[in-house]
Structure 1
């Protein structure tokens, strides 16, 4: 796991406004104008949050006419949640297993 990259993504989604945007998008694709109705900030502020989520790969954007439509990027979220589970729950991919397998392989090479 790339801890620096994962930490950066966590920081992006821990913003309460971005969490709410992700929650809204979990219901399906939304126009920026419809997302904006749920907040007390301006359209440029929404654009900033959406661009941040887009750059992190959490949302997809498509332009239709003058409006942007946003949806969750399911592939990115699936990978993100897999890494989250790997971080908090014992699995075949946990760091202890990786280090144990590395040591075992090194021992085989030396014998």
Structure 2
């Protein structure tokens, strides 16, 4: 059984700042101001990264007065983790079963 990992999502999360944002949002729902304080990134740069995360479906927004709060969508992370868990299980089965293709 072949397992595939969402490569587009991996590209989104591979950026160090976006990964930092996701890590922070895993702990609590934050607004842009909080994220600027926590990351030290410029507002414009941070907003661009948040847009990428929103478009990839990694975060949801929640308007609150003049602020926008961001929260991580755990189901997206769980799906990605599940894909990697399936890869690890397949690798374990291959190793334990000593499965290898013979050379021609």
Normalising by the smaller structure, the TM-score range is: 0.7 to 0.9
Are the aligned partners of 2:32 and 2:69 in contact in 1 as well (CA < 8 Å)?
A: yes
In 2, Cα distance between equivalents of 1:56 and 1:89: 27
TM-score, normalized by length of structure 2? 0.76
Q: Deviations over 1:22-76 (max 9, x none)?
A: 1111111111110110233321111110111111111111111111101110121
Are the aligned partners of 2:20 and 2:39 in contact in 1 as well (CA < 8 Å)?
A: no
- 1:89 aligns to what? 89
Deviation at 1:88, TM superposition (A): 3.2
Deviation at 1:2, TM superposition (A): 5.3
Structure 2 unaligned runs (5+)? 92-104
In 2, Cα distance between equivalents of 1:55 and 1:84: 22
- Give every structure 1 segment of 4 or more consecutive aligned residues whose post-TM-superposition deviation is greater than 4 Å: none
Higher relative CO (CA 8 A, sep ≥ 6), structure 1 or 2? Answer: 2
- Equivalent residues in 2 for 1:49-60 (5 A)? 49-60=49-60
RMSD, matched Cα: 1.7
Q: Deviations over 1:52-109 (max 9, x none)?
A: 1111111111111111101110121111211122233328xxxxxxxxxxxxxxxxxx
TM-score, normalized by length of structure 1? 0.71
Q: Which has the larger radius of gyration?
A: 1
- Equivalent residues in 2 for 1:21-60 (5 A)? 21-60=21-60
Deviation at 1:7, TM superposition (A): 0.9
| Equivalent residues, number | 89
